Chains A and B, each alone.
Chain A
């Protein structure tokens, strides 16, 4: 029974990881390896030509630059806006506080994919198509982040801030020297989530960019032209190059990742 379970588990896990493993292996394939009989799972030799071609025959480096730049700036702005809003909603009392909070959080109910036509028209009217600001504009607000940060900030008593302010501490100082270090874990988790959301976005960057030089990696990856000509090697090389750093990070950090999900989603 125990061996059966371990065997089934291992077989299923190999099936799940197969596309990733195959992509890495196929990134070293020579052209003929794809059509070899019997079909090959491993390359005939360590051939790095696909990597050279992926970079020299496409705008891969430029796509990656665009994605990293938009994801870093986007994450920074998104976290700043979320932290400022959550801080205000947790530590200040002002007229209309609850109504305004609900107004912001209620947008969780509006799926952004269904708003793309109207949002595209706005971005076009603002002449922001083919700009970095256009790419990140719709991801700058994360109602879920404001909601979760406020839940977290509220664990700290309001009197803390009041006492600090009376002692002459500014809000900026209170936030950066006290609140942020205290909420390091949740802020970091949300920042990582933001980064991967913006970095992995597909439909929106596809719509607001037209020039090849403005494409993000997720969009550019599907338009490299290799796979259409059944020239799979460079395409697999580009994908492998892109996913390897994240795979390594996930494997190295697998314990904290599993733990954080356990705490965040089941409350224990």
Chain B
């Protein structure tokens, strides 16, 4: 009887660590974040009084939040197409035979081997307006950290360097699965390179393309480390993003309630992106 009971409880005991962890670090904090966003919260983190949606009203009338929201969306809008064009070009151009193509492929995915903060520190030093190699090599004088447009462009560049390794590998894998005999038939029938891409390769890699677009959108909406390390939201809040403002409110100003309200907005935004992903996945699109 005793051993019977222990057998019955065994599966629950074996998944207990996982269940405790999802409760402690996913579900409870999610509920707490929502509760904090509808209360006033002390510096020590205690909820003081229920305030309804007034934190959200304060947020939506806050110019700093307007800046964060529009910067996050602007970054997403610039970053996603840039990243797709660069990584897809890399995959298309290097999808050939020979040692040179092999070397090109290694170079394209090598940024993946560099840690995020290493890559960002390298870029920060390379783009320094006075002694950085970029301005000096090209002979330009762009104030990468003091000009709002240049700072946004720098974030997009950083985003591409941080993401190219993995996205390149995904595109490459998808392209190599396009059957060679189909391409040969198309060539014999007089199709040019662009036609082969447009009518043969593109439809076949569409699932991968959709997956990369959606994950890029999600990552772009959550961008924080490049802002923290490269621009610190500046100049004049021109690169302040949602997660960065959440960090400022929560950890620099001790304004947990407002920070939590921003977190809920971030949730809703990324959740929408993920719902699209799941919807597409149901239509037989492969992803991790």
Residues on A lying within 8 angstroms of B by beta carbon are: 1, 5-6, 8-10, 12-14, 16-17, 19-20, 22-23, 26, 34-35, 39, 41, 81-82, 84-85, 87-89, 92, 94, 97, 100, 103-104, 107, 109-122, 124-125, 137-138, 140-141, 143-144, 146, 148, 171, 199-200, 202-203, 206-207, 217-219, 221-222, 227, 230, 232, 235-236, 239, 242-243, 246-247, 249-251, 254, 257-258, 261-262, 264-268
Contacts and interface: CB of A to CB of B under 8 A. Distances in A.
A203 B224 contact: yes
Contact of A221 (B117, B174, B218): B117
User: 3 closest A-B pairs (Cβ-Cβ)?
Assistant: A118-B29, A9-B93, A262-B173
Contacts of B143: none
Given A6-B96, A138-B25, A243-B114, A13 B260 contact: no
A264 B143 CA distance: 43
A146 B26 CA distance: 15
B109 interface: yes
B54 interface: no
Nearest to A107: B26
Contact of A13 (B10, B104, B224): B104
B116 A202 contact: yes
B105 to A, nearest CB: 7
B124 interface: yes
Interface of B: 8, 10-12, 14-15, 17-19, 21-22, 24-30, 32-33, 36, 45, 86, 89-90, 93-94, 96, 100-101, 103-126, 128, 130-131, 133, 136-137, 161, 164, 169-170, 172-174, 176-177, 193, 208, 211, 218, 222, 224-225, 228-229, 243, 246-247, 250-251, 256, 259-260, 263, 266-267, 270-271, 274, 286-288
Nearest to B176: A262
Contacts of B131: 34-35, 230, 232
A114 B93 contact: no
B251 to A, nearest CB: 6
Contact of A242 (B106, B118, B229): B118
B170 A265 contact: yes
B117 A219 contact: yes
Contact of B100 (A6, A12, A97): A6
Contacts of B251: 117, 120, 207
A17 B33 CA distance: 41
A82 B15 CA distance: 9
Nearest to A24: B122
A246 B113 contact: yes
B205 to A, nearest CB: 9
A115 B30 contact: yes
Given A114-B267, A257-B109, A19 B103 contact: no
Contacts of A94: 8, 11-12
Contact of B110 (A8, A39, A81, A247): A247
B133 A250 contact: no
A28 to B, nearest CB: 14
B110 A111 contact: no
Given A12-B90, A114-B246, A121-B256, 17 more contacts: A12-B93, A13-B94, A13-B108, A14-B107, A23-B118, A39-B137, A111-B218, A111-B267, A113-B224, A117-B251, A118-B30, A141-B21, A141-B26, A202-B229, A246-B113, A262-B172, A266-B208
A141 B18 contact: yes
B260 A117 contact: yes
Nearest to B229: A222
Contacts of B228: 202-203, 206
Contacts of B112: 250
Contact of A92 (B10, B119, B246, B266): B10
Contact of A22 (B25, B133, B224): B133
A118 B122 contact: no
B125 to A, nearest CB: 5
Contacts of A230: 128, 130-131
B90 A13 contact: yes
Given A9-B101, A100-B15, A227 B121 contact: yes
B177 A141 contact: no
Most chain B beta-carbon neighbours within 10 Å: one of A22, A35, A115, A251: A115
Contact of A113 (B28, B103, B243, B288): B243
Contacts of A235: 121, 125
Contacts of B114: 20, 243, 246-247
Contacts of B120: 222
A23 B118 CA distance: 10
A222 B121 contact: yes
Contacts of A218: 115-118
A207 B250 CA distance: 11
Given A138-B25, A254-B109, A117 B246 contact: yes
A139 to B, nearest CB: 9
A100 B110 contact: no
Given A115-B25, A116-B250, A218-B115, A81 B18 contact: yes
